[in-house]
Structure 1
């Protein structure tokens, strides 16, 4: 890094300032990016040893110029690195230093696990971050797309197949477990997906801001056939909708349930004052989800690459060695 920049361990009191940097970096890459929240990061931090798994880069004036953390899934053979550079500090080597710290930490975790880990990074394509990763031996393994639709005009109405009805989740434990079963069954053919126990799934989706009235469920023959799991986000200071998951059971596909759930989500958000709705999708979805979203009027705003590099366990003399 350039002179005047430093590294330190983040403190809980840093979270608001960290989020300002994270959100500024997100908006610089995609104007439609939803703002991350303190609650979301507090949840992430609850899974980390922030003394070893998270880093702040300070600028010459002591401001937060960059932030990064590493989350590991040694049992799955993966670790995920997230790093953000404030736009005002690009070109100072902040991103490179955060990547080096993540790689060194991943090497230590690989040694502890006794196996090679695949270190995963997600970055906007065709930018400095992609060039940095490629220069360090990362390969692109997938492309995801951010898609949005503005809610500033007439919307198509959902058309439900015979025998299909729509309701909102009740938010009860029984209902949520039924939604989980539907979602897990639907995503069984998603690239890179593995089964997620209820507790893991719930930890990802059921935290501050969860509103069961925004979870739309399509029922058929007495069971949940599909689900649109939605939430509100903030995009440039305006309320916006987010479809976190859209799932249809395999045996209930080809009935238009996915499209109808999506259109019902648009109507729900429009009725509650949202300016837009967004979601993330695999550009090579085996179910053609990205094509369904496009036909419903959503457009790609940015492409995000998944990059991976194998990180072997540390050796006594290697760059990942620990003292």
Structure 2
């Protein structure tokens, strides 16, 4: 398949000054397919400022004859082996082959990464697709991407006071303070070694996403302590002034299977309820290695949206990241 765009389109790399135009495109696309915008402008700015991304070589914008951004793709990589594409196409231009053009351009970029990866490592090109976005799903399938994993957004409507937590012995809850941030990072890394696809990241990268974001509020980070040790974490935020988000919830191995996870979840619901936040969401791997989906269902959460992780293998080898609990 070789895709070309009409001469009326202009293609060039993104620059930082384009971020608001691209966010407008993403918003229009998400509103069309999902009925809501799931990304914030600050999140896009953080993404574009990643030291691993060079906009000049890793991005493409498609402009219409009216100089409107109608297509966008951004590439990223982990160790040149786990390659990913983020893509948006304006819903009014879905018939013009922009998605095919961007996917072919992305695959050419990806092939250039293959020799840079360690020789024994599997190299894949990956993309996420919301199930509602039928055009993107079809485009991925046309380019021989295969669905590999399903992810759920789960939510709960807190109409009444949530169930009170029942804490295991010796557990106390504190909110985060700056002197705890590095220890919270270490707990996060420890916990998520048991999650599919996990690859360790530096404290600087973690803090760039978790601490330096515009909506960061340490009073919404709930830390379960056993003496001086962190047993579990619930790292949350309020988005769009109405939605509670649990970005990270996890328990370290020595404290699992004693009810702490459910208690921490109930506590988090209660804290949101106190603030007048009645819609609470989180994202989870539908085939979670630790059975997290069962916990969330027991707490009364339900699936509100589904997405798939699509993959195209470019070279065989050992997969990066956690694949099973045995690892």
TM range (shorter): 0.7 to 0.9
Equivalent residue number for residue 281 of structure 2: 278
Aligned to 1:187: 192
Match of 2:25 in 1: 21
Structure 2 equivalent of residue 135 of structure 1 = 142
4+ aligned runs moved over 6 Å, structure 1: none
Change in 2 beyond 3 A, CA 1:292/1:101? same
- Distance in 2 (CA, whole Å) between partners of 1:114 and 1:188 is 21
Summarize the alignment of residues 143-292 of structure 1 with structure 2, pairs less than 5 Å apart: 143-172=150-179, 175-209=180-214, 210-234=216-240, 238-292=241-295
Q: CA deviation at 1:277?
A: 1.5
2:161–2:270 CA contact under 8 A, matched in 1: no
CA shift for structure 1 position 156: 2.0
Give ranges in structure 1 of 5+ residues lacking alignment: 313-323
The Cα of 1:259 is off from its aligned counterpart by: 1.5
Distance, in Å, in 1 between the alignment partners of 2:286 and 2:87 is 23
**In the alignment, is residue 89 of structure 1 matched against residue 93 of structure 2?**
yes
User: Aligned to 2:299, which of 284, 296, 299?
Assistant: 296
Deviation at 1:114, TM superposition (A): 7.2
Pair 88,297 (structure 1): closer, same or farther in 2 beyond 3 Å: farther
Deviations 1:19-60 (A, max 9, x none): 1111232333334553322x3222222232111111112223
Once the two structures are superposed, what CA deviation does each residue of 1:253-279 show, in whole Å capped at 9, x if it has no partner?
Answer: 112211122222222223323342211
* Structure 2 CA distance for aligned equivalents of residues 242 and 248 of structure 1: 18
Q: CA 1:152–1:25 in structure 2 vs 1: closer, same or farther (change >3 Å)?
A: farther
Q: Deviations over 1:176-201 (max 9, x none)?
A: 12212222221111111133332332
RMSD over aligned CA atoms reads: 2.1
CA apart distance, 1:2: 5.0
Match of 1:123 in 2: 129
Give the equivalent residue in structure 2 for 1:305: 308
CA distance in 2, matches of 1:244, 1:254: 21
Q: How big is the shift at 1:112?
A: 4.2
Deviation string for 1:60-87 (max 9, x for gaps)? 3221112110011235x21111001222
Q: Is 1:40 aligned to 2:43, yes or no?
A: yes
Question: What is the SS of the residue equivalent to 2:113?
Answer: helix
If the length of structure 2 is used for normalisation, what is the TM-score?
A: 0.86
Shift of the alpha carbon at 1:285? 0.6
Query: CA contact under 8 A between 2:59 and 2:75: conserved in structure 1?
Result: yes
Shift of 1:130: 1.9
Distance of 2:37 and 2:153 partners within structure 1: 9
